[in-house]
Each structure stands twice: as structure tokens, then as C-alpha cells.
């Protein structure tokens, strides 16, 4: 029977074996071929190019460096700053290799031993704790290019193949050390810590190079899953994970057993500080710097090689600035001390009056009560609390109007408010048109909207909103408010929301800038009392400058006419009439001294500037014959000529300028008559080290050396008093504007020029007396305390022996008034003041003036 079977089936078995062998050989040949073709095909998919491998995309923060190259702050979407391998603690490398990739320095991107173990133990035996097969290079490839794992198993396999290819390519392009640095730079350690530098700073307050073994183990442990091993939310899990990492370091002989036993008993040691854009010193400066840098980088000559503009928040630039961090800290500390005392006086000054209702019995320039109340109402409406009620009650009704109207309804509800007042008095819209506050076309649109059927719903919603807001804003509630003398300048209190709005609007503000006169380098920038609560920058805000402008008029007279500061002027009313000189007035202009008082006696220019006597400044302007000599001179001192009106009242400071502009102009006095434009950004460098932008000095002579030294002497005379403790030569000028709304002090030394303004955001937030509201009280004490603090700081090299520059030889201008009196007995007969006309009916002469002696 077996023979028959062999006969019947023998050929069949042989054929089957042959077929099996044939298919086996085909598989042996086909698998490698298929693998080669598969990987070749993958290489033509969306794998990164050579250029992309060499320049992986990262959201890298831009660093702001101070003058000593310490970090002032950063701009970022992700708080990521790249570090090189040599900036990493060796503990980080050891922990990383021991935990994530034991054979890291032996493979070329793929660890076949770990891969085989992962396939067998995890893929076949389904053991989750068997460990993964991904190398550090593969993990970097995933972070940079492939992203999170796909949901589909086939897609995950496809992504894994891509990671292998990218990992091998990375190993060819970068050294092992560079790959480690790239991986740690790219990883998100959460809680605002993108990259190893931010992680070290945020969690331990250290640089990556300073991390100790146990600290490095915490951060490396987070690589497994930072959201799960979150030091802030799960400290116990993180502690266990840290010890596991250190145990791996022992296993791989990176750590002694005895040292491990000691370190594992240590606490986690987290000292978390969340780095924010406004953390650290000079936050107002950093806000302005970013806007200035955007303007620079928008210009084509500062674009990338490919023509694209740089993104400050993403492209990892480095800004080199001139800010002196030691000076800046002193400026902020002294600002807080001075403003806290001033604010205390201010609240006491107004404890029995209301700035929004108060009517001065003597002021001619006081802001009307109606405007003040409208401003308070607008501030209330722009609050988050009001906007929440508005969104829920009024906005749905306004949407129905929007579809059929050309009116844009603003968040402060000015349009709806106007319409509601029009319903009551039938004159509001017409009055706004008459005052050119509303165009005729828009007024007609207002009236058309008021006739719509949907407007009835708006009226109902408006009434409901007002009732809701009145109740809510009048109910006391727990809230946090700004407060001096408290941690972070804030405190919890019980207050109505309306009182909170009024309270914060009554906080006095400051704008102060210091500039090195010989270079134009900005050394300090204080834009307000607290950036978190008040982000409006007052260094770049325009305010009326008052008597701080008068030295420019004196300087023009000294430089152009060569007159001595001993020259005497009769203190009497001065009138510039229509037809006089090139003033082109239509009415006589006769400025007044303080309280309309005139001594009727002669006073020299020293006294006239020191006491801010308006009649002296008016006389000098009259003698110049036109505002243009002053306007031309200040243009050379950096002030925009078109912002200085061509009217005689500029002699009294009727100009609106910024602290930045005024301080820049005063550097001329501190620099032998040469103006240096204030500079705060010297260089921008990209992540590769290429210099993108570098500043070009802008200086020009504005005053002759003799005239400038004369002005320095006059400013020194004017600053006498209230500067005790300041070492070395110093000069300056105070300024106070109408109703004490602005207090100024411009201080000069050979080392530093400091311009300071103090006042309220609203012009009715002011002291009602010159004793408290003058520049000598509001601004000058800050200058004194700041300069004293800087001079006493050994970290700041302030040469108190340095003098203002004096030209050699005879100045040609007599500074000694005793000598001047002996050689110029007839000067006043030759130069007797003109213009003894009658008082004019319009005292402003094209601009506002002040009756205060400090104006």
C-alpha cells in the first residue's frame, strides 16, 4: 500500500517542497528589495530636506541684553532660548544617556538591540514595562519633524520608519553633543518652560550649567511625560521619577551608590518662578523696545536672506541695549519710594474734595466738569466687569442693528449713549455736529437707526444694562488693587468697583529717562509706577513742558546775540503786538508773571531763569524778533520742529513734548553743545550670529562751546537748593504747567542727564497748590535720590570729580556779574526793553502759558 501511496503522491510532495523553497527564496530576495524601495520611497515624501535638517524650525525666544550683556528679559510665544552643549551641566548629559539611551555613543541613530527588545517584549509578549526602542536622535526627530504619534497602528508604523530615516540623517549632520543640546532645547517642560534653559530657570532659578545631579534628574525624568510628571501638580510622582533616573545613573556607572543613597533623601527643591514678558526690571522699556524693533525689522534691508521679515517672538534674535541694570534698579527703587510719599500727600490733599466735581475759583484752564465725568464714565465702561454685562445684555440687541447700519458701535458705548441722550433732549446730536465732534453723514445715520424697529430692543437692553451696572458697581466686593508698600505693589481689599476705577485713576504717574550725554546711550527708563497695573508708558507720552523749555530761549539769545547771563531786564509787562518782528500775531500778546506781580526792578538772566520769571523770557523772545531762531535751534537739539509751534508763547513752555525728546535735547548742555540722539538699541543679531542691524550715531552741534558753557553755568545757578547729597557739578531746571497738572525736572551732570515728569494720566488729577504740585516737589526730589543712590553704588563707576567741559581761553561772554557791572554801566540805556503796551485781552498768544513762577 505504501508503494502505491508513494507512487501516487510522491511527485506531489516533491512539487510542494519545490514550491515552498521557491517562495522562500523569493521572500529572501523580495524583503530586502521591498525594504530598500520602501525607504527610497519614504525619502521622497515630506521628510525634511538637508536645509531643514540644518535649520530646524523652533519657536525661539528673543533675548534682551543690558549694557553688561546680562539678560533684561525676553519676547516669546514659547519661552525658549537655545543653549550650546558646553552650557549644559555634565549631570544633564549623564542622566539623559543613562535613562533614555544607554548605548547613545555607540549607535548611529538606531539602537538595534533596544529595537529588537522592544519588538519582542512589547510587540510579541505585550509587556508594557519592557522599555522603548527610541534613541535620543529618534526622539529629537519626533519633536522636530514628525510630531505626536498617530492614532492608527499603520500610521504609527509609517511615522516610526520616518523617524528612523530622520534620526540617521541627524546623526550625519550633527555631533552627538549637538543632538543632545538640540533635544533638550526643543523639549517642552511645561508651565511656561520651553527648553532646558527656561526649565532650569523656572523650576530651580539656575542656569542649565549650574544644575546639580538631583536637579538634573528631575528635568530628565520629565522627558518621559512632562504633563504627567509635573513638579507643581504631582511632586510625589516626580520625586519617585527623579530617584529612578538617579538609579539608572548608578546602573550605568555615572553615579556612586553612596552618593545616590544621599541624594535620594533630599527634597525635590523646586523654587518655581514663572517667567513672564513683564518680569524683571525695565518692563516699560522692553515694551517700547519691541515696538521700535518691529519698525526697524519691517524695513527690507533688515529682512532675512530669503526676503522674509523676522518675527521677534519666534526667531531667536538677540537685542543689545544700553540699559545699565544697576542704575535701572536704583531708578525703580527710588521711584517707588518717592511716588509712595507723593501719593500719600495726594490722597490727603483730596480727602475732602472730589477731583471729578471740584471747580477752581481762579483757574482759567481747568478741564470742565462735564468732560471729567465723561472720562470717568468711559473708564468704567472699558472695565472687564462692564464688558461682561454688556456682552450679555446689550450686544445681542446691537447685532440686529449692525446688519442694517453703517455705524460701528464701540466698546465704550459712546454711540448708544449719544442716542439715548438725544431721546431725552433732542439736541445732543446737533450739538455734537456743531462742535465738529460728529460728521453730518454719521449724524443722519444716528437718526435713521433710532427710527428702526430693532432700536426698541436696544432701548430696553440699554436700560437694563444701566440698572445692572449701577447696582453691581455700587456694591462692595473683595478685590485686588494697586498699593504701595505691599508685596508686588498690590493688596486685597473691600471696595465698590466704581471706587476702584476712581482710585486707580487717582494714582500719580511718573516718566523718567536718563541718558549719557557724551554717547546718547539711555541708561534708565521708568515709564510708570507699576507695569502690571498701569501699562501706559509716560516716557514717550506728550505733556506740556512748562519752564523746562525756557533754557532753550535763553540759549538762543546767548548763542545768537552773545549776551551775558549778567545782562539785566526790567521786570515789567512785555507786549508783542501785531506787526512786531516776524511773529505774525493778530492780537497783542502780554504774558503775566505769577499772580500778576511785577517787581519793577532790573534782574539779570541768572535770576530770571532761576525764578522762571515770565517777563524775562518774553523779553528775550521779543528781542529775537521771531520764534524761528528758537525753533531752529531746538531742531538741532533733536526736537521735531513741526511740533514746536511758531508762536511767542513757546518762550513760556506752551509746547507738548515727551520726556524722551526733552531729555535728548538737554544732553546738548551736558555734551559741550553737541546733541546726541538718545540710543537704546545698539545691535540686533540673529540666532546664527549674523548682525542684522547696528545703530549709527546721530550727533550734531547745536550750540557753540562758549554759549553752551554759559547755559551750563545758568542751569547750575537755577538748580541751587534741594539737591543735598549729590556729589560733583550739577544743574537743572524745574517746570510746572497750568493748574499744576505737570511737574518736571531736567537735571544735568557730566555723567548723566535725567529728565523726569510727574502727574496724573488725566489733567485734573493734580495738586491744587504750587507748594505740592510744582516740579520742585513732584519731580526734583526723585532726581536727587536717584543720583545719590547711583553715586554711592560701587558697581557704577561714577566720576564725581569730572567737570562740565569749558572751552579754552576767553569765552567772549562775561559770567562774573561784578566784572560785568563794572564794564557795562550803560548797557540798559542801550538795550532798554521795548513793548510797554497795554495788557492784551487774549493772554495766550497762540499757546497756553502759566501764571506759576515755576512754569
In-domain check, residue 43: no
Which pLDDT score, from 0 to 100, does residue 274 have? 72
C-alpha cell at 240: 519617585
Residue 535 and residue 390 share a domain:
no
Cα gap 510→543, rounded to integer Å: 12
70 domain residue, yes or no? no
Residue in 133, 114, 130, 113 with CA at minimum distance from that of residue 122: 130
Task: Give the closest residue to 62 by CA, choosing from 425, 310, 282, 238.
Answer: 310
Range of the domain at 388: 356-473
DSSP code for 521 = B
Q: Are residues 515 and 463 in the same domain?
A: no
Q: Specify if 319 maps to a domain.
A: no
Both 142 and 197 in one domain: the answer is yes
Q: Which three cell numbers stand for residue 210?
A: 549650574
Show the 3-state SS of 140-195.
HHHHHHHCCCCCCHHHHHHHHHHHHHHHHHHHHHCCHHHHHHHHHHHCECCCCCEC
Q: DSSP 3-state assignment of 320?
A: strand
**pLDDT tens digits for 299-331?**
999 999 888 999 999 899 999 999 999 999 999
The most confident of the ranges 57-61, 721-725, 851-855 is 721-725
**Is-contact 572 615, C-beta < 8 A?**
yes
User: Do 456 and 573 fall within a single domain?
Assistant: no
pLDDT for 151 equals 47
- Assess whether 607 and 467 both reside in one domain: no
Assigned domain for 284 exists: no
Are both 425 and 514 inside the same structural domain? Answer: no
Q: What is the pLDDT of residues 345-375, one digit of tens each?
A: 999 999 999 999 999 888 888 999 999 999 9
Q: How many domains does the chain have?
A: 3
Q: What is the pLDDT of residues 401-435, one digit of tens each?
A: 988 888 889 999 999 999 999 999 999 999 999 99
**Percent residues over pLDDT 70 in the chain:** 85
Domain shared by 534 and 590, yes or no: yes
Q: How far is CA 22 from the centre of its chain?
A: 75
What pLDDT score does 48 carry?
Answer: 62
Dmax over Cα atoms in the chain, in whole Å?
157
User: Could you tell me the CA-to-CA distances from 282 to 326, 334, 512 in Å, in that order?
Assistant: 11, 14, 11
Q: What is the mean pLDDT of residues 447-452?
A: 94
Helices (H), 350-454: 369-381, 384-393, 395-402, 414-425, 428-434, 440-450
pLDDT digits (tens, 9 = 90+) for 86-116: 999 999 999 999 999 998 998 887 876 766 5
For residue 839, being part of any structural domain is answered with no
Q: Tell me: do 602 and 725 sit in the same domain.
A: yes
Is position 496 within any domain?
Answer: no
Give, for 495, the enclosing helix (H) or strand (E): strand 490-495
Q: Alpha-carbon distance 244 to 810, whole Å?
A: 82
Which CATH number do you get for residue 545?
3.40.710.10
Q: What percentage of the chain's residues is helix, strand, coil (to nearest 5)?
A: 50, 10, 40
Assess contact for 543 and 742: CB atoms under 8 A.
yes
With cut-offs at 50, 70 and 90, classify the pLDDT of residue 768.
very high
Q: What is the pLDDT of residue 132?
A: 52
pLDDT digits (tens, 9 = 90+) for 562-614: 999 999 999 999 999 999 999 999 999 999 987 788 999 999 999 999 999 99
More reliable by pLDDT, 385 or 594: 385
The one-character DSSP state at 61 is P
How far is CA 264 from its chain centroid?
Answer: 43
The larger pLDDT score, comparing residue 48 to residue 525, is at 525
- Assign 763 a pLDDT band (cuts: 50, 70, 90): very high
- b/e string for 374-393 if b means 16 or more Cβ within 10 A? ebbbebbbebebbeebbeeb
Alpha-carbon gap, residue 228 to 763, rounded angstroms: 53
Long-range contacts of 306-314 (CB under 8 A, 24+ apart): 310/686, 310/692, 312/62, 312/75, 313/59, 313/61, 313/62, 313/75, 313/76, 313/77, 314/59, 314/60, 314/77
Report CA-CA distances (Å) from 429 to 411, 425, 557: 19, 10, 50
In this structure, the answer to whether residues 430 and 530 fall within a common structural domain is no
Find the CATH number of the domain harbouring 123: 1.10.3810.10
Exposed/middle/buried for residue 132 (C-beta within 10 Å: 0-12, 13-18, 19+): middle
Q: pLDDT class for 59, splitting at 50, 70, 90?
A: confident
Q: How confident is the model at residue 57 (pLDDT cuts 50, 70, 90)?
A: low
CB burial string 217-230: b at 16+ within 10 A, e below: bbbbbbbeebeebb
**Are 454 and 532 within one domain?**
no
Of 244, 263, 282, the residue at which a domain comes to its end is 263
Over residues 427-450, the mean pLDDT reads 93
pLDDT at 120 over 70: no
In a domain, 334, yes or no: no
**73, HSE (Cβ side, Cα atoms, 13 Å):** 23
On the question of pLDDT at 732 being above 70, the answer is yes
Do 454 and 595 share a domain, yes or no? no
Contact partners, residue 625, CB within 8 Å, separation at least 6:
581, 582, 583
- Out of 231, 263, 295, pick the residue that ends a domain: 263
DSSP string of 810-846, one letter each residue: --SS---HHHHHHH-TTHHHHS------PPPS-TTTT
Query: 424, 453, 473: which is the final residue of a domain?
Result: 473
Residue 74 has pLDDT above 70, yes or no: yes
Q: Which three cell numbers stand for residue 540?
A: 514717550
Amino acid at each position: 500500500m505504501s508503494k502505491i501511496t508513494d507512487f501516487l503522491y510522491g511527485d506531489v510532495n516533491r512539487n510542494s517542497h519545490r514550491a515552498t523553497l521557491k517562495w522562500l527564496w523569493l521572500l529572501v530576495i523580495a524583503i530586502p528589495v521591498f525594504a530598500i524601495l520602501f525607504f527610497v520611497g519614504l525619502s521622497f515624501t515630506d521628510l525634511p530636506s538637508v536645509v531643514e535638517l540644518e535649520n530646524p524650525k523652533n519657536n525661539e525666544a528673543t533675548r534682551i541684553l543690558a549694557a553688561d550683556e546680562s539678560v533684561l528679559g525676553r519676547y516669546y510665544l514659547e519661552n525658549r532660548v537655545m543653549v550650546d552643549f558646553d552650557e549644559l551641566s555634565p549631570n544633564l548629559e549623564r542622566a539623559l544617556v543613562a535613562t533614555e539611551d544607554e548605548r547613545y555613543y555607540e549607535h548611529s541613530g538606531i539602537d538595534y538591540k533596544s529595537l529588537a527588545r522592544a519588538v519582542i517584549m512589547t510587540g510579541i509578549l505585550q509587556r508594557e514595562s519592557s522599555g522603548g526602542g527610541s534613541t535620543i536622535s529618534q526622539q529629537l526627530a519626533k519633536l522636530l519633524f514628525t510630531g505626536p504619534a498617530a492614532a492608527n497602528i499603520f500610521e504609527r508604523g509609517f511615522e516610526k520608519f520616518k523617524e528612523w530615516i530622520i534620526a540617521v540623517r541627524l546623526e550625519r549632520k550633527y555631533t552627538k553633543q549637538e543632538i543632545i543640546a538640540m533635544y533638550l532645547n526643543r523639549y517642552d517642560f511645561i508651565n511656561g518652560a520651553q527648553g532646558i534653559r527656561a526649565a532650569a530657570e523656572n523650576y530651580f532659578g539656575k542656569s542649565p550649567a549650574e544644575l546639580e545631579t538631583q536637579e538634573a534628574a528631575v528635568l530628565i525624568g520629565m522627558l518621559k511625560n512632562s504633563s504627567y510628571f509635573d513638579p507643581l501638580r504631582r511632586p510625589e510622582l516626580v520625586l519617585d521619577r527623579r530617584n529612578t533616573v538617579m538609579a539608572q545613573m548608578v546602573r550605568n556607572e555615572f553615579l556612586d551608590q553612596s552618593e545616590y543613597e544621599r541624594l535620594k533623601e533630599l527634597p525635590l527643591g523646586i523654587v518655581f518662578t514663572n517667567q513672564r514678558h513683564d518680569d524683571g526690571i525695565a518692563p516699560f522699556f522692553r515694551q517700547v523696545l519691541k515696538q521700535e524693533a518691529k519698525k526697524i525689522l519691517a524695513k527690507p534691508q533688515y529682512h532675512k536672506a530669503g526676503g522674509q521679515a523676522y518675527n521677534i517672538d519666534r526667531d531667536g534674535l538677540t537685542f543689545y541695549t544700553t540699559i545699565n541694570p544697576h542704575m535701572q534698579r536704583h531708578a525703580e527703587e527710588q521711584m517707588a519710594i518717592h511716588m509712595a510719599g507723593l501719593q500719600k500727600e495726594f490722597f490727603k490733599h483730596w480727602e475732602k474734595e472730589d477731583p471729578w466735581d471740584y471747580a477752581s475759583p481762579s483757574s482759567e484752564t481747568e478741564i470742565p466738569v462735564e468732560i471729567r465725568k465723561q472720562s470717568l464714565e468711559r473708564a468704567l465702561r472699558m472695565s472687564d466687569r462692564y464688558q461682561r454685562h454688556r456682552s450679555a445684555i446689550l450686544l445681542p440687541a446691537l447685532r440686529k442693528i449692525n446688519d442694517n447700519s453703517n455705524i460701528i458701535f464701540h466698546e465704550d458705548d459712546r454711540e448708544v449713549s449719544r442716542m439715548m441722550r438725544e431721546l431725552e433732549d433732542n439736541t445732543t446730536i446737533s450739538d455734537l455736529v456743531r462742535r465738529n465732534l460728529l460728521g453730518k453723514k454719521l449724524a443722519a445715520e444716528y437718526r435713521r437707526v433710532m427710527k428702526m424697529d430693532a432700536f426698541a430692543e436696544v432701548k430696553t437692553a440699554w436700560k437694563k444694562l444701566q440698572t445692572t451696572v449701577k447696582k453691581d458697581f455700587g456694591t462692595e466686593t473683595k478685590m485686588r488693587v494697586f498699593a504701595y508698600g505691599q508685596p508686588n505693589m498690590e493688596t486685597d481689599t473691600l471696595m465698590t468697583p466704581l471706587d476702584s476705577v476712581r482710585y486707580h485713576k487717582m494714582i500719580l504717574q511718573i516718566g523718567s529717562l536718563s541718558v549719557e550725554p557724551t554717547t546718547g546711550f539711555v541708561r534708565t527708563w521708568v515709564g510708570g509706577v507699576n507695569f502690571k497695573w498701569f501699562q501706559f508708558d509716560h516716557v514717550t507720552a506728550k505733556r506740556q513742558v512748562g519752564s523746562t523749555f525756557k533754557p532753550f530761549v535763553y540759549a538762543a539769545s546767548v548763542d545768537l546775540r552773545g549776551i551775558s547771563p549778567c545782562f539785566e531786564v526790567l521786570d515789567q509787562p512785555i507786549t508783542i503786538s501785531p506787526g512786531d518782528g516776524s511773529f505774525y500775531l493778530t492780537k497783542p500778546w502780554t504774558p503775566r508773571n505769577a499772580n500778576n506781580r511785577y517787581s519793577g526792578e532790573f534782574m539779570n538772566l541768572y535770576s530770571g531763569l532761576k525764578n522762571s520769571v515770565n517777563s524775562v523770557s518774553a523779553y528775550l523772545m521779543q528781542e529775537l524778533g521771531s520764534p524761528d531762531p528758537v525753533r531752529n535751534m531746538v531742531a538741532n537739539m533733536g526736537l521735531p520742529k513741526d511740533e514746536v509751534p511758531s508762536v511767542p508763547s513757546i518762550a513760556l513752555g506752551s509746547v507738548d513734548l515727551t520726556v524722551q525728546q526733552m531729555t535728548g535735547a538737554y544732553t546738548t548742555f551736558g555734551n559741550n553743545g553737541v546733541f546726541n540722539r538718545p540710543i537704546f538699541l545698539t545691535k540686533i543679531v540673529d540666532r546664527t550670529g549674523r548682525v542684522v542691524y547696528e545703530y549709527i550715531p546721530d550727533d550734531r552741534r547745536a550750540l557753540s562751546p562758549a554759549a553752551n558753557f554759559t547755559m551750563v553755568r545758568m542751569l547750575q545757578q537755577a538748580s541751587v537748593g534741594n539737591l543735598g547729597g549729590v556729589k560733583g557739578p550739577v544743574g537743572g531746571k524745574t517746570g510746572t504747567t497750568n493748574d499744576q497738572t505737570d511737574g518736571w525736572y531736567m537735571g544735568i551732570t557730566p555723567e548723566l542727564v535725567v529728565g523726569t515728569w510727574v502727574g496724573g494720566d488725566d489733567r485734573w488729577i493734580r495738586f491744587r497748590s504750587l507748594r505740592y504740585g510744582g516740579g520742585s516737589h513732584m519731580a526734583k526730589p526723585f532726581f536727587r535720590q536717584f543720583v545719590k543712590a547711583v553715586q554711592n553704588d560701587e558697581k557704577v563707576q561714577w566720576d564725581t570729580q569730572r567737570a562740565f567741559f569749558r572751552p579754552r581761553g576767553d569765552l567772549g561772554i562775561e559770567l562774573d556779574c561784578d566784572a560785568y557791572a563794572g564794564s557795562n554801566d550803560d548797557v540798559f540805556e542801550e538795550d532798554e526793553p521795548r513793548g510797554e503796551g497795554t495788557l492784551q485781552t487774549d493772554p495766550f498768544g497762540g499757546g497756553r502759558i502759566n501764571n506759576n513762577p515755576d512754569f
